[in-house]
Structures are given as C-alpha cells and as structure tokens.
Amino acid sequence: MTAPLRLGTRGSALAMAQSGHVAEALTAATGRPVELVEVVTAGDRSTAPVHRLGVGVFVSALRDALTAREIDFAVHSYKDLPTAGAPGLHIAAVPQRQDPRDALVARDGRTLAELPPGARVGTGALRRIAQLHALGMQLEVTPIRGNVDTRLGRVLGPGADLDAVVLARAGLARLGRTDVITETLDPMLMLPAPAQGALAVECRIDDQDLVELLGVLDHAPSRAAVVAERALLATLEAGCSAPVAAYGELAEGDAGEEIYLRGAVISPDGTRDLRLSRTGTPADAAEIGKALAAELLELGADSILGQEGHAGPGTQQFGSTE
C-alpha cells in the first residue's frame, strides 16, 4: 500500500479545516491518502498583536518541517506568506479561492451603516483598522487577537464586549459559520488583503513527483489574481505594519479574459487613502501588480509606508486569515 502523504498544518480549527479540504480534494483527484500533521508555529504561541509578531510568524515552522522532511507538503493561508520565496520550496498549487471579501459580524444583526458613532469594532488587521477609520463613521476600532471562535465570542458570547468584529469571510465559510455574518463588505468600502481567501500548497522543489501530483489542485484564475496582488505588495516593499490592500478579479474583456486589479495604501488613522486600479491579461499578472504599485508610489504611497517603518522586500506579514 502507498504510504499516506504527510500534510503539515497549524492546529487551529480554521487551519485544520482548510488543510482537511485540501487533503480530501487531493485524495479524490489522485487516490493518494493524506494524513494531517500538526505543527505549532511561533504565531500560535504568542499573544502579541498580529502586526507586531514579525515576518512569516505563521509559516516559518511549517517551512522548517518541510525542509527537514518531517512533512511532505504544507497548506498556508496565502496572505500569511512573505512575498520573498523560501529556498528549496515551491508553491505547487493555488486551489480555487474562497470569496476574498471581509465580513462584519455585529450585534442585533446590524450592518456597517447601522452601527452608531462610538460603536466598538474589533479586528486584528491594520488594513481593516485603517479603512474603518477612513470611512469617517467615528467608530471605536479595537485591535483583537485569537481564533475565529474567540473573536466571535467578543460580539456574540455571554461576555461580549464589542458591538462588531470584522473577519475574513473565507475563514467563516471554511468553518461553516457564514450564518453569523450580518454583512459581507463591499470592496469599495473594505478592500481585502493581498491573497485573502486563497490557499498556498507548498512542497519541496526537488520532489518533482509531488509537484506534479499537487498540480491537479491548481486553479489558474485564482493563481493569476493572487500573483497580481502579491506583485503589488512586493513592489511596494511594505513593512509588516503597513495597511496595504489589493483585489484582483478576472473577467471577460474586449480582447478576452483580463485581470482588473485594485490596490490601496491607507494611513493607519485613515486620513490618507490612495486607491488606484489597472487592467491587463492574466499572463501579465505580475507586471500589472508592479505597474499599479509604481503608480501608487508616484502618488506618495512611500510616505504612508514610511510612517510605519520601511522593512524592505519580502517582509510582509498581514496576519492569519482568522
């Protein structure tokens, strides 16, 4: 009998759920059995705010386990990956992306527009904090940490101390908790993080048989959108605490399929909000992202990023999907 492939995953409910989905899809497509191997990361052990944890805090332990051949492949929330690649490792597949939008979970079924001035809204991402401030609704935005259930408990639990929380819709969907969403936020109000809702299936580059096997899970439109978004992020060289957002969508254009990419850089207090868009072909995904980043830099995005510390290329860490 063929030995099961060892899939490394974080131990949170969300990480286990998304890794389980990948394992089931791979087995269904190839017949190969897969077992989940829990790997504890530095981010799981820390209680510090997400944007202060440092680069790759949710992925470095998984990559170490891959390099040490303790696991065969790993599944990451793609937005957790630094933009610089890891030596000897390869993103073999980007499965079809979940809805990348953010979601509001509020008391009494309220939407964002129904929250009163002074309402306490919790989120773990500076990108969301900045965009909430930019709305000018006089909300009290509170940084929070914890897994999905912990965050939901801050609004829906017996000890609730917040009026609402903002989370990635994809995480709630993977956990079967979309029933608690009171509003899925329009990207015009809340542009997602680069690669939000996407998974990265990573293995060793020298394991060509596995690279080919995992390739059956790759979804070309999802990969193209993510490549464009992360190229923008890498070109901006945004530091770990810089609020950068990007969202690429594929649609039929006059000359065939094209990517419509939106990007934004927002100051943490919301007073400066630069937003631009650009289109191009999926084959030029990386160039679209780079060009849009260059336009944002021409408008002064570097001065916003400089407020947060310019950490250099490959140093982005925007927090877990949770």
Q: How far apart are CA 180 and CA 20, in angstroms?
A: 22
Q: Which region, left, alpha or beta, applies to residue 142 given φ > 0 means left and ψ of -120 to 50 means alpha?
A: beta
Q: Cα torsion for 71, 72, 78, 81, to the nearest 10°?
A: 60
The beta-strand segments (E) located in the chain are 5-9, 34-38, 73-77, 89-93, 102-106, 120-123, 140-143, 164-168, 183-184, 199-204, 244-253, 256-266, 273-280
Residues facing residue 275 across a β-bridge: 264
Cα–Cα distance measured from residue 320 to residue 322, given in angstroms and rounded to the nearest whole number? 5
Q: Quick count: other Cβ atoms within 10 Å of Cβ 70?
A: 13
Tally the C-alpha atoms within 13 A of residue 231's C-alpha that lie toward its C-beta: 20
- What one-character DSSP code corresponds to residue 81? S
Between CA 92 and CA 7 the distance in angstroms is 13
N- to C-terminal Cα separation, the chain: 37
Catalytic choice (80, 102, 108, 161): 80
| Residue 108 annotated among the catalytic residues of the structure | no
Contact by Cβ (8 Å): 75, 9? yes
| CB proximity list for 97: less than 8 A, separation 6 or greater | 170, 197, 198, 199, 219, 222, 225, 226
Residues tagged active-site: 80
